Every structure is written in C-alpha cells, then in structure tokens.
A and B are shown apart, each in its own frame.
Chain A
Amino acid sequence: MPSVLVVDGVGKCFTRYRSEWDRVLGWFGLGRAPIEERWVLQDISFRVDRGEAVALIGANGAGKSTLLKIITGTTRASVGQVVVNGQVSALLELGLGFNPELTGRQNALHLLSMRGVYGDRAEALVQEVEAFAEIGEYFDQPLRVYSSGMQVRVAFSVATAIRPEVLIVDEALSVGDAYFVHKSFERIRSFRETGTTLLFVSHDPSAVRTLCDRAILLEQGRVAMEGEPSEVLDFYNARVAEKEKSSIRVGRSAEGVASTRSGSGEAAFVGVELVDTEGQPVAIARVGDELQLRVTVDVAGLIPALVFGFMIRDRTGQSVFGTNTHHTGQVLQAPEAGSRWRFDVRLPVHLGPGSYSISVALHADDTHLSANYEWWDLAVVFQVVNLAHPTFVGCAWIQTEIQARPMTLGLERVV
C-alpha cells in the first residue's frame, strides 16, 4: 500500500544569533553563524500508510506540536523532508481565522477560500457545512452572538467539509455537546473508511488503544518508540511514573506540592504521608499494593468533637472513594487542647492505572459544612501503574475472573 505521509529524517532547529542583523545577512549568504542552535526535533522518520490511524504521544515539550506544524506546513523542517500525498487538514485549534463580525456563512466561505476553494464549489460545500453544523438560522447571524458550542460546530464542519488525505486531530479538541461529539467522531470514522489517514495526538490511553493501529512516542525531540499502541503506552507510563517520583520528592522538600488548605484552625494537619508496608513514602504505587495513609493532627483549641475524613480523587477531580471517622463510628469526643493524634488508614490500591490525589479534612460533624477545622486538597498526589496484572481499563481494580469453557448441547441438558 502506498504511503500517504512520509517523514524522512526531519529535524527542526531554532537558532539564535549574536545580533538579528547576522540573521538578515545570512539570507544573503553573508554574516556570522548563529551562536546557539537548539534542536527541538531530531532525526524523525516514519511512514504512514493510507487509511492507517497513528497516535502521536509524548510529554509536553517533546516536540509533538512542532512536528505537527511541519506536517501541516505552517513551519519548515530545518533538515529532512515531509512528503504528503494529498491534502492535510488539521483539527488543532478550532475557530482560528474566524471573524466575529461576519456570519457563519461568510466565515465558512472565507475559510474555504483560504484552502483554495471558491465559487460554485464553495457555495455547494457551505450548504453541506450548514447542514452538518445544525445551528439553524444562526448560520446567517454574526459569529459574536454564537455560543461557544455553536462556534465549535461551525468550525468543525468547515474544517472537515473536504475529506482530507491526512487528518490531524488533537485530543484536547473539544467539539461541543455530547450529540455533536458523537456526530463528529462519526464523520472522522467515515473518513477513515474511505481511506483517510488519521494522525491522533493524545494523552488518553483508552482513546489511543481503541482508535489507533500504531503509536509513536516522542521524547525530547526524538522518536523514543514506535509500535503497538499498548506497548508504547506502557513504556510511556513507566517513564512518566519515573519522572513524577522525582518531582514529588522535590515538591516535598520545598514544603509540599501546590495545594490549598483552608479552615478555622482549632485542629490542624501536621503531616500527611502515603507510605508502603515498610513505612517508606510512596509516589508510585502498583495495582494491588498495600499502602497506608499516615496522618498526624494537632488539636490547638477547645472543640466539641473531631472527625477525620479523606477523599481519593482521580486526575479529573472525580471522587473515587472517601469516608470519615463519623461514618466509621470513631468520633473523638472533646479532644484535649494541645493533644496530638495519629490516624492510620489502611489503603489497598484497588485502583486503575492513572494519577490520583488524596484530600483530607478535619471537622466536627459528619460533613465539613458545620465546623471545618482544616481542609487540605491535594495533600498527597500519587501515581498508580499496572505492572503485574492483566491489562484493564477504568479507575477501579475489581478482581474479576473470566471462565471460558466449551459448551456442548449434551452438557447443557445435564445442567
């Protein structure tokens, strides 16, 4: 099958000159060489076949955006070359090039002209854009009266009005409400069926696994790994975990990671720590590990009762699990002012891979609403990786078992 996209030895170098005049003279073949060359991309080579879906993953600053810019043609490679057989369309930032004073129709026509489509063909395409965006009579009103969702609808419809040979999709892209998200993914899928190649930029493992045939991991401007999405993702996650460990340690030494603490202060946290069975602090946990949340509290003033609570949240802030000593029947009645307390929470890691945080709270009742002594968001941040268990998705580790056995009619009858 012919390759639609060939990236061959591409490198990108940002240069700094002693004086900008040297740069200008350089255009005429004169002047001094740059004093600094910073290679943000080096030696990138890969090919993508027609109809393939490839994920591009990598941490921020790994060079993903620069590579995409080179592929879309907004910037040029310093060395190497990119060959695209067909039109490239990028869904990176929707709504760029829109003029708020013009109507949806006028904006659509203008954006089409930017791609070299005019006249009758543009008129016909705009009709399709109008039908796909489904924003009714708003289409003939100026963009400034649109809701952001409507703008996104028009922007997506225009950007995908022509089926491109290569479609670049940024995961961070928001395409509006659930209905339209569904509709736009349907369109992307139908493009793929008719041969469009998909280049997908994402951090979301499940999206990469379900959508893509192949993944390319960029690290510090180089291709660190290329292969099956699952393999590449596992490798990437392990790398991220390594890094987070060190950053957490740094954060701790500099008096805690960025977090918010609030409350009246009659009782306060002295220390919150996530430790393993040997009492060592943990930043990376493996699925199934046995951990302990170790909390030290000082009671400073006269309080009627002390309740300790905690909440585990996933990276989006969604609650995963939380409880407090009121619910467990362990309320401390009238603790002495000046006393110090220790709460140890047994915490088996029955969580899916990902990043989690623990918020802790001290209050008088079953909720923190009546008397809130202290509330500490993101008191602990930790990472869960899955190394030992079969791959699974989701935030909960439920030890399911699957039994597979052949079934015959005879057996059925006996049962």
Chain B
Amino acid sequence: MNAAALARGVWQYRGFVSSAVRSEFRSRYARSRIGLAWMVLHPLFLVAIFTVVLSEVLAARMPGIDNVFGFAAYLLVGIMAWSLFAELTQRLSTVFIDNASLLKKLSVPRASLPMITFCSVAVTHLILLLVLLVALPLLGFAPTLHWFWLPLLFAVTAAFALGLGVLLGTLNVFMRDVGQVLGVVLQLGFWMTPIVYHPTMLPAALEPWLVLNPMATLVVAYHNVLLFGAAPGMGVAVLALLALGLNFLAWFMFRRAAADVVDAL
C-alpha cells in the first residue's frame, strides 16, 4: 500500500480541506444573528443544563465522589468522549454517499472528503472540551497534571473513529445496510459504555466484559484523567495499536475500492 502517496495527496489539498471546513461552519450558522458564537454557546448551555438539572433538580449523587456536581461532571465527561467517537463514526459512514454528486461530476481529491468531516467534527469537539476544561474547576474538580494525558486520549479516540468510519463509509457505498446497522449499534454502544453509570454499578457478571468495548476503556480513561486524578490504564496503549491497525485496513480498502466507489454511487 502506498500510504505515503495517500498522505501526500491529502496534504497537497489541505487548502481545500480547510476551505471546505470553513464553508461548512459558515453555512451552518448563516442567517443566524450571532453566527459562529453558537459554536461556543451550544457546549456552554449543555454544561449549564446538565449541572443545574443533575445537582439541583434530581440531586443525583455519584458513588465515590463527594461533590454535589459529581454526577453532572461524570456524565459530561463521558458524553464529551462518546460524542467525539459516535459523531465521527456516524458522519464518516455516510461521507461518500453524501458527496455523491461531487464525486460523480467533479474530480475532487477523494481522500480529502473524510478529512473534511474529521476536521469539522474535531473542531466542534475541541470547543466542547475547552468549555468543559473551564467548567470542571468551577464544579470543584481542580486541574491535575493528569490532564496532560488528554491530547493522547483525544488522538486515540479520534484515530479509532477515523479508521472505523472510513472502513464503514467505504462499505456503506456498496452495502447501504451498514449505515442502518451502525445507527443501532451506536445506540446500544452508548448504554454498553459507562457514561451514565459507573462500571461498579453493573452486575458483577457483566463488568469484566466491558474490556471488550474499546469505547468503555477510553471513557473510563477520560474519567480517570479528568475527575479521579489517575493515569489512563494500559488498555489505552492497546487501543492505540488497534486504532493504527484499523486505519491501515480502512485506508487500504479505501484505495482498493476507489475505482468502484464512483460507479456504485
């Protein structure tokens, strides 16, 4: 496989990728009075609503955290990590189908299309992450040195989703059921991942199986790093290798399928 050529191609069209990402945000907030401010306001409201509802209205508590905002913070961190993975996978799984007319009529650099989606999701996600990093100290979770693990966790999560998304996106062109199944699997995955509950709240028989869910490992790592002041487990290193392999497989398939993709659309 010619990974270098692929990377070079994407790099050569970086201007197109950045222009496309900018266009996407511009058109998403076009005709809205405050425009791009929504990009920050959305995550701000998300954090505010979760905090108020979970601490004041429901008064939910998290076992092991002695803080009224504990559950809100736990949930927010989990959702932040999960949404990066879920949104990226979902949007990448339809990236070629959504751009069918472009692919068929214009000679767009194909490998740039997943990159556009990747960057656009990443930007939205990073804003949410930043808002959260500002909010956490206010909720009583002071920054620790473990926060420096975040770039690594982000990279592994994003790489994992990128590989999976490109793989499914390629398959989805030929087998449209892939997209439908993915929707269901992601729904299930949300509940199979310790986002709204703590792993210890699971029945003892189920808990060991969480290891098989890559996102569970990552979400637990996010929780550890941001809330519990602990380093991520070795599982993340395994996942990093897995993500690397997945990307090799996905981009290899993408290259091989390229000739057929336009014909099948």
Contacts and interface: CB of A to CB of B under 8 A. Distances in A.
Chain B contact-residue range equals 20 to 34
B30 A93 contact: no
Given A76-B258, A113-B16, A116-B13, A24 B174 contact: yes
Given A113-B19, A116-B15, A116-B16, A20 B103 contact: no
Nearest to B29: A101
B19 A101 contact: no
Interface stretch (A67-75, A230-238, A347-355): A67-75
A97 B253 CA distance: 26
A24 B256 CA distance: 9
A56 B107 CA distance: 20
A114 B175 CA distance: 28
A102 B107 contact: no
A110 B105 contact: no
A20 B23 contact: no
Interface string B228-265: 00000000000000000000000011001111101100
A74 B103 contact: yes
Interface residues of A, number: 33
B102 interface: yes
B16 A102 contact: no
B169 to A, nearest CB: 13
Contacts of B256: 27-28
A109 B104 CA distance: 21
Contacts of B19: 109-110, 113, 118
A96 interface: yes
A118 B22 CA distance: 14
Nearest to B14: A118
A142 B105 CA distance: 23
A32 to B, nearest CB: 15
A113 B19 CA distance: 7
A117 B12 CA distance: 10
A74 B104 contact: yes
Given A113-B19, A116-B13, A97 B102 contact: yes
Given A20-B174, A101-B30, 18 more contacts: A14-B263, A24-B174, A27-B256, A74-B106, A74-B262, A75-B104, A88-B107, A96-B101, A100-B27, A101-B26, A106-B23, A113-B13, A113-B19, A114-B108, A114-B109, A117-B15, A118-B15, A142-B30
